[in-house]
Amino acid sequence: MEKILDRFLRYVAVDTQSDEESESQPSAAKELNLLKMLRDELCTFGVEATLDEWGYVMATIPSNIDREVPAVGFIAHVDTAPDASGADIKPQIIPDYNGADVPLNGVPGLLLKVEEFPELLAHKGETLVTTDGTTLLGADDKAGVAEIMDTVQYIVTHPEFRHGEIKIGFTPDEEIGRGVVKFDVEKFGADYAYTMDGGDVGELEFENFNAASASVRIQGSNVHPGYAKGKMRNALHIAQEFDALLPVSQRPEYTQDYEGFFHLISLKGTVEEAQFSYIIRDHDRAKFEQKKRVIARCAEFINARYGEGTATVTVKDQYYNMREQVEPHYHVVEKAVKAMEMAGVKPRIQPIRGGTDGANLSFRGLPCPNIFAGGLNFHGKFEWVTVENMEKAAAVIRNLITLYAE
């Protein structure tokens, strides 16, 4: 049997960074390299698995119980975030972590500091896996992938393990908000499911942000700067003015818990034209709608000041808070709590300050809370995970299967 660490290291060695500029699905062809690998590994285990044209791997492990029990699914995404390189990852493995700062040896002088990331201290004595400082690690969400595959390996090598029908799903493009756009819930066939895509051990989430994107275009007017008085409208300055209209206190760096935000994520342009974009987030649907109205009013103000057509805003909803879809099936949360307790893990139910594929799946009729995968500091060079976290997550999956079988 392959150890979960070895499996995880195999998966992070495959570059699967998604591409937010691409219109195809999967957004990057290289995502298919790992998806094909997973399909083939499932088939090698004797599990019926398919990979469709959209990049979805789906597999079924038939029930070995002679009565009807709910079909439960487990889902993870294979892509890594565009925020940092996912190529040529060189993980550092630190057995029996001693609680000290960790040098990230790919960048001289760069440290994973306990002062900045005190969560490390809760994992003294464990086997820590970090980046070398030049890339992200890919625990988001290849830790989840490894945990699900470790469970499949356990089931096929332990025929005495009692279980109902189990559904496995691996998806592309979660990091760019398109993870389950074409996911066929009916074909997947689960009654309930869980995404293995959370953070530190014990995290359990069934409510997330309502989310939208806002793209802003500023049309300026460029003339020779020596003769610009009363004529030039510098799009870059107007863009700065637009951003200054939004409340500073509602930026991500000043918010926590249930507080929403406006997050400026890109800005490019010239005197003639500027383009920039935001993501808008709030757990409360009414406050979320209000934030979208604020963005629209900013454009109205700019147009009143500089002329109609100066500012153009396009707002697109991305996903909604799954809580309203999961609460009517609250037993899926209760089972996850019990499964964690059975694994010696203290559950921590908290809102996701982000989103998961489970949010969109929940709105399409598949209640799908999110369970910890064990990693922290996702999307950057300070990402890390411990082997023990992954092992506990795999144990939670097995416990959930047992609870549904009962």
Going by C-alpha positions, the residue among 265, 270, 234 that lies closest to residue 252 is: 265
How far is 165 from 404, CA to CA, in rounded Å? 10
Cα(387)–Cα(185) distance, integer angstroms: 32
- Measured from the Cβ of residue 333, the count of other Cβ atoms closer than 10 Å reads 18
311-319, strands of its sheet edge to edge: 261-269, 273-282, 210-219, 311-319
Q: Which of 41, 140, 147, 174 is catalytic?
A: 174
d(CA 261, CA 180): 24
How buried is 247 (Cβ within 10 angstroms: 0-12 exposed, 13-18 middle, 19+ buried)?
exposed
Which tokens in the block code for residue 130?
Answer: 């970090």
- The three-class DSSP label of residue 19 is coil
Residues 6+ positions from 219 with CB-CB distance below 8 Å: 235, 272, 273, 309, 310, 311, 312
Catalytic residue among 15, 79, 147, 207: 79
Note whether 152 and 61 are within 8 A (CB). yes
Residue 79 annotated among the catalytic residues of the structure: yes
Residues 352, 195 contacting (CB under 8 angstroms): no
Helix orientation angle between 4-12 and 387-405, rounded to the nearest 10 degrees? 110
β-partners of residue 311 are 218
Residue 87 carries which DSSP code?
Answer: S
Contact 385, 137 (CB under 8 A): yes
**Rounded CA Rg of the chain:** 23
What is the C-alpha separation between 266 and 18, in angstroms, rounded? 17
Residues known to be catalytic: 79, 174
